[in-house]
Amino acid sequence: MDRDTPITELKGVGEKTARLFGKLDIRTVGELLAAYPRDYEVFGEPVKIGRAASGEVCAVQGAVSGIPNERRIRNLSILNVVIADESGRLQLTFYNMPFLKKTLRQGGFYIFRGLVRAKGAVPVMEQPKIFSLADYDRLMNRLVPRYALTKGLTNQAVQKYVRQALAGCAFEPEYHDPALLEENQLVSWREAVETVHFPDDRDSLIRARRRLVFDEFFSFLYLMRRGRQLDRQLENRHRMPETADARRFLEQLPFPLTKAQEKVWREIREDLAGESCMNRLVQGDVGSGKTIVAVLALLTAAANGYQGALMAPTEVLAVQHFETIQGYAEKYGLIFRPVLLVGSMAAREKREAYRAIAAGEANLIVGTHALIQEKVQYRSLGLVVTDEQHRFGVRQRELLAQKGEDPHILVMSATPIPRTLAIILYGDLHLSVIDELPADRLPIKNCVVNTGYRPKAYRFIAGQVAQGRQVYVICPQVEGDADDAEGGIPMENVVDYAETLKSALPADIRVSYLHGRMRPGDKNRIMNQFAEHSIDVLVSTTVIEVGINVPNATVMMVENAERFGLAQLHQLRGRVGRGEHQSYCIFVSADEKAESMERLEILNKSNDGFHIASEDLKLRGPGELFGIRQSGEFSFRVGDIYADAGLLKQASEAVDRLLAADPELSLPEHGRLKAHLERAAEAGVDFRSI
Ligand code: ADP
Ligand code: MG
């Protein structure tokens, strides 16, 4: 068995289970092994009942101190049992498990593990898991992996298959030079993968993770830098002096540019007209107004007789940009002759677009990765702009650039990264920062609340919808999976939550949902409906994070906010507060622990993306490095550019040395590494649609 072996070869995986895995994009043994745990459950020492703190998951050991009491409410059976030790009493509540009456006899001694809540005189543990002393002993202090699941697939089942795959899979031989592993203190790939699934302890998990992260950074940086001479400045082959068009457009705009926008526009102008070809990254927080700056550059290209291309990561964003620019063109008489090019267009429309592009009739081409298809031939591509670029492989950016002869390149990103990291991640790009929001913005009003606040939040949402506004609700999961509700902190999911909201809100409010596992066509349809206001409340996973602009949306409610990185929550918050109306953010935390609340309070107090990212990092322990995604925008699977900045630097140095010694990897000792990186390149070229 190797990594390309279909999972159906695993014992016990039949067609039905394979279909469930298919929903998680797992089809081969390799994909199963690459589906690292989402986090780990630690079975700590049982505590005295009197010490079981409210809001925490813990294990207690105690004797059943009374006769279990069953109540029925319609179809629901509620079983209450009290346990006690010398330090106190605790009530256990089980739903729909009436058979436990027989197991939990008075005087029986067990370990119970679950979330404790303060409720009246005696605290309550709901739906705990029950262990015998011997069973618990075996689990104690182990890190038990918890996988992303789908309905019908339990965590235990996934564990079982992963074990089987680890035992049976022939791993590819180590591809890194032993000296490199030694120098960077990295474990072997095989050890890393085994440990990440079933760690012995926290230290070995951290070591395993280091290797995975290093490799991820290494492949990325190698593929990005390969074939590029970083120190060479390309000559400017398309001089684009400033024309009256840009100035006239600015005079007519209803608002002045902010100082920061002006500064960046000056830098771009100088690049376009200067000695060397532009290669610039514009960083600006969500809502800082990056689009206008790009439009000014594209307008200057068009005025100089060149074609400009604007590539966005999703169809919805591409269409939005297209409509915005077309709107400007009509209103202000701009010289744009724009065409749109996205995957879902009919073949006939596409052919017409190709023709207009090849003939040079179109001087502005807006689209998705459809812009880099082989069929698209540009007439005179002089400027390439990519929006929210981290969503594209660097490769896509290069493919687009190759459609012209050294066109100017402008990359726009909302991810706040310090200059030192930007140099590593973007290599030779010059950096411009828009560090100021337009002055007319009403600051977003934030609140951090617990789940008890929901009824109030729903009333508030209904009120906003009644005033004609729209609402986003974010949940961390696509569908429910039983394992999360038990014991641990409940996790909300998009599909069920949309149903809950439909019944909680007035019937005329149009609720719909969106998530990454829907078909691309369906996703587009829903996002368009929301943009056109035929949906009032959109329940979604973080797929809506990227740049969508619906200025009429005024409420962003995030469920299980404790599950997200602060930088990601900040990006989500950027979806509201884009128009004239006062906007609100409601962060709902299901975890009432002081640390979680404190972490979220940072968002409450600051609207500055840089500040938020650095504070978040300070508050996180190494154990949290797997569960929380810091920068949803940089799509590394395990690595985190902030938390792993040190490793990023190490990987960067290793790649530089490799490129200096053997740029094409033609030496025999680099054969395995070459094969490995080629695989990584193939995987990377796939366009990651939202
Ligand atoms: P982002 O940087 O997140 O891409 P956008 O470019 O989409 O932000 O701009 C967000 C909104 O702010 C748009 O509706 C845009 O028209 C508006 N905007 C941009 N610049 C200014 C400005 N200087 N003053 C007022 N509003 C602005
Ligand atoms: Mg944008």
On whether residue 115 sits in a domain, the answer given is yes
Q: Which of 395, 413, 434 is the last residue of a domain?
A: 434
What pLDDT was estimated at residue 517?
Answer: 83
Say whether both 466 and 392 belong to one domain: no
Count up the domains in the chain and report the number. Answer: 3
On whether residue 340 sits in a domain, the answer given is yes
Q: Which of 606, 624, 642 is the last residue of a domain?
A: 606
On whether residue 480 sits in a domain, the answer given is yes
What pLDDT was estimated at residue 622?
Answer: 42
On whether residue 32 sits in a domain, the answer given is no
Tell me, in angstroms, the distance from the centre of ligand 2 to residue 245's CA: 23
Cα 343 from Cα 320, distance rounded (Å) = 15
Say whether both 522 and 463 belong to one domain: yes
Q: Is 95 in the pocket of ligand 1 (CB under 6 A)?
A: no
Angle at 262 between CA 313 and CA 299, to 5 degrees: 55
pLDDT (tens digit, 9 = 90+) per residue, 592-603?
A: 777 778 888 888
What are the CB-based long-range contacts (under 8 Å, 24+) for 534-537? 534/510, 535/470, 535/510, 535/511, 536/465, 536/470, 536/471, 536/509, 536/510, 536/511, 537/461, 537/465, 537/470, 537/471, 537/472, 537/473, 537/501, 537/505, 537/509, 537/510, 537/511, 537/512
Say whether both 340 and 450 belong to one domain: no
What pLDDT was estimated at residue 306?
Answer: 97
Number of H helices, E strands in the chain: 24, 22
Please answer whether residues 572 and 487 qualify as being in contact, where contact means their C-beta atoms are separated by less than 8 angstroms.
Answer: no
CATH (domain of 48): 2.40.50.140
Please answer whether residues 288 and 282 qualify as being in contact, where contact means their C-beta atoms are separated by less than 8 angstroms.
Answer: no
Count of beta carbons in the 10 Å neighbourhood of residue 229: 10
- The HSE-up count of residue 646 (CA atoms within 13 Å, CB side) is 5
* Ligand 1 atom 20, closest CA: 289
On whether residue 277 sits in a domain, the answer given is yes
CATH (domain of 544): 3.40.50.300
CA distances from 608 to 235, 435, 570 (A): 37, 9, 9
Please answer whether residues 558 and 474 qualify as being in contact, where contact means their C-beta atoms are separated by less than 8 angstroms.
Answer: yes
Q: What contacts 489, CB < 8 A, 6 or more positions away?
A: 57, 115, 560, 562, 590, 591
On whether residue 172 sits in a domain, the answer given is no
pLDDT (tens digit, 9 = 90+) per residue, 617-664?
A: 666 544 444 544 444 445 577 787 777 888 989 999 999 899 889 988
Of 255, 331, 435, 437, which is best to mutate to test ligand 1, by the most ligand atoms within 8 angstroms of its C-beta?
A: 255
Tell me, in angstroms, the distance from the centre of ligand 2 to residue 543's CA: 15
Say whether both 373 and 251 belong to one domain: yes
Q: Which of 400, 434, 468 is the last residue of a domain?
A: 434
Say whether both 465 and 587 belong to one domain: yes
Say whether both 484 and 551 belong to one domain: yes
* Ligand 1 atom 10, closest CA: 287
* Ligand 1 atom 18, closest CA: 289
Say whether both 374 and 407 belong to one domain: yes
Positions of the chain with pLDDT lower than 70, given as ranges: 227-232, 389-396, 416, 427-428, 481-488, 545-547, 614, 617-635, 683-690
Task: Kindly report the pTM of this predicted structure.
Answer: 0.69
Cα 557 from Cα 564, distance rounded (Å) = 13
Say whether both 421 and 495 belong to one domain: no
Provide Rg for the chain, Cα atoms.
Answer: 27
What pLDDT was estimated at residue 295?
Answer: 97
Say whether both 430 and 452 belong to one domain: no
On whether residue 130 sits in a domain, the answer given is yes
Residue 332 sits in which domain range?
244-434
On whether residue 212 sits in a domain, the answer given is no
Say whether both 412 and 308 belong to one domain: yes
Q: Is 284 in the pocket of ligand 1 (CB under 6 A)?
A: yes
Report phi then psi at 556, rounded to 5: -120, 110
Q: Is 287 in the pocket of ligand 1 (CB under 6 A)?
A: yes
What pLDDT was estimated at residue 507?
Answer: 94
Say whether both 317 and 373 belong to one domain: yes
Please answer whether residues 165 and 32 qualify as being in contact, where contact means their C-beta atoms are separated by less than 8 angstroms.
Answer: yes
Of 291, 320, 436, which is best to mutate to test ligand 1, by the most ligand atoms within 8 angstroms of its C-beta?
A: 291
Tell me, in angstroms, the distance from the centre of ligand 1 to residue 578's CA: 8
Say whether both 471 and 576 belong to one domain: yes
Q: What contacts 71, CB < 8 A, 6 or more positions away?
A: 77, 78, 79, 80
